[in-house]
Structure 1
């Protein structure tokens, strides 16, 4: 079964309503990555990490957002396996057509993009799911502005990276 964006969007909307109804919390996941970073740093440096102002507000621990990310990974993997769509692709065809088949280049670009997304989501006070789903659902002006910037910058950089004129 193929999930059209409409069915998936409706499912995410219902999930968001249920999250608010049952836990009074919005759906979002960028804090889970920040908490994971803190857990890794704590494993290396010890409890001194807990004295940092950021980690006093966002304690490095497994919480419901962390479990949400784990559930997304498990659900996506299960869906790919059940639909027969699972495949290990190190260099997607569109990337390969624009930049060549280099796996190290693809990994470097993915890492750089992930770091920039992490910095941006912390700077914006949330990620695309936090602002795009939960914030807009609450009619938060800051979330609507953030979503506009997400889409506009995504479109602009896609055009720049892949050499397509808008």
Structure 2
């Protein structure tokens, strides 16, 4: 708290006004005789041009979990400990017993078992976002259209009548 106040070059009275607390409350925060609420601590850091961050063991900053991470069809988040897959990567169960009575899932998750994968192996990535899944599906559709176009014969189409003319 004192470091943030010094960086902002504010007196205790000015900092207390910025935070909306009494000067005596700020003084007790700085002395350590009163627990600082997380919101007040983050606000004090922001006044001093600082912010809170979560770091891993090597000191790298960990980004917050994306708020727009893909959700299931009922709008719930997928379990954080499971690896979420895009809808085009169907699990074997879905191929064996498709559910025609339900809307197609927006994503799948893989139940970890003996083939558990560490987050380091996945590059530490979080669940995909709705935007990332939309981009993936768009790329897959485009790639499919390009493959179909490349598979077209170079010869004139027999149905078009080209090449059948006799002059």
TM-score above 0.5: no
User: What TM-score does the superposition give when structure 1 sets the normalisation length?
Assistant: 0.18
Question: Higher helix share goes to which structure?
Answer: 1
Question: Higher strand share goes to which structure?
Answer: 2
User: What TM-score does the superposition give when structure 2 sets the normalisation length?
Assistant: 0.18
Where relative contact order (Cα < 8 A, 6+ residues apart) is larger, the structure is: 1
